[in-house]
Amino acid sequence: MKRAFKYRFYPTDAQAAELSRTFGCVRKVYNMALTARTEVWALRQERVNYNATSAMLTAWKKTEELAYLNEVSSVPLQQALRHLQTAFTNFFGKRSRYPRFKSKKKSRKSAEYTTSAFRFRDGYLTLAKMAEPLAIVWSRPLPEGAQPSTVTVSQDAAGRWFVSLLCEDRGVGQLPANGTAVGVDAGLNNLLTLSTGEKVTNPRHERKDRARLAKAQRELSRKAKGDGVNRAKARRKVARIHAHIADRRRDHLHKLSTRLVRENQTIVIEDLTVRNMLKNGKLARAISDAAWSEFRSMVEYKAAWYGREVIAVDRWFPSSKLCSRCGTVREKMPLNVRTWTCDNCGTAHDRDVNAAQNLKAAGLAVTACGAGVRPQRSTPGGQSAVKQETPGREPWDSPLQEG
């Protein structure tokens, strides 16, 4: 299985200048090819493929106006055209929207090199058009005997440089089956509540740096708009704080998702529509900080790596209002109720633990019935792998209830 290993590196002034030129040329070629393909479609309703744009690139390099494209490696430019081809393929396949132009200030700065444009020997990586290898901080070793097939160099908004090496990792394989299943209920007060009764506290990374971030943003807003040096410094300061928050959040989610995948054969989660939840003005910041979508993505791809199963239960399933012992559905459940007692069997429930246990039971029922592992999100009416008749259409177990 191929995996990408990302490392930070510190370029020399010459390397930084060369990479910055490459980023600019990649952006220029991508935008010009997008313009050409759009114009041809508008005029003749014809699709332009990668081979045609590659021929255009050759012609562009021969012009006096675009002769500077010859100063950088041609491989990242060709890869930009391949990425544009993939974007159009996804668009025509109705998997994404129409490709957008790359912006100098907003778009991600990156360049992709294939094997013909770099040399990797004895732990030293040298890119085309560069005399010296990159000073990479090897925070973790590559798989033994691994040889990168693709190298992607990028720079984030905080000015940090990263290199990502795509390698074959033979160490990734299916873990021994243990038959353990767990239900996972997402929330805000507690980031996750497991069916075992364990609660994972929400670190609230953004809240810890909120005052520092607000101060930096105020300083940025006072700088004159434009390309001034002082405004650029203030912008990088804000970006560094954002990057620090995102790094801590990502590290925590990686450790949490890896632990769940390693310890459990089946993981049952909710199929939450985070995009709609972000429309709640009072809780949008807390929901973004919780990063439920990122956590789900991590769990799903790691489960695929290690041979685990992920089941997503429909968000309309009344997991909070359903008694996990007798199956009675309570009519009303105010948002401030964190513990409740079933009127039918008298069992006392913790709201979140009860919801996680119900999710686990619903997920195991899906497995026993041989249904799909997750709801079909595009199905009209919100039908899912787990069907439960509910009074009305209210997201009973929405994590927003935790406030």
Active site positions, annotated: 185, 270, 352
Task: Give the span between the Cα atoms of 339 and 293, in whole angstroms.
Answer: 27
Task: Give the span between the Cα atoms of 195 and 179, in whole angstroms.
Answer: 15
Alpha helices in 107-228 (DSSP H): 205-208, 210-221
Q: For residue 317, count other CB atoms closer than 10 A to its CB.
A: 24
DSSP letters spanning 112-129: EEEGGGEEEETTEEEETT
Q: Closest Cα to residue 23, out of 89, 87, 69?
A: 69
Q: How, if at all, do strands 150-155 and 309-314 pair? A: unpaired
Vertex 20 angle, CA 17 and 22, to 5°? 110
Q: Structure tokens of 325?
A: 């012992």
Residues 6+ apart with CB under 8 A from 58: none
Cα–Cα distances (Å) from 329 to 144, 269, 325, in that order, read 55, 20, 11
Residues 6+ apart with CB under 8 A from 87: 96, 99
Task: Give the span between the Cα atoms of 178 and 181, in whole angstroms.
Answer: 9
Task: Check: CB of residue 300 under 8 Å from CB of residue 342.
Answer: no
Task: Give the span between the Cα atoms of 343 and 360, in whole angstroms.
Answer: 22
Residue 194 backbone zone (phi > 0: left; psi -120 to 50: alpha; other: beta): beta
Please give the DSSP secondary-structure letter assigned to residue 67. Answer: G
Q: Closest Cα to residue 107, out of 85, 80, 131, 125?
A: 80
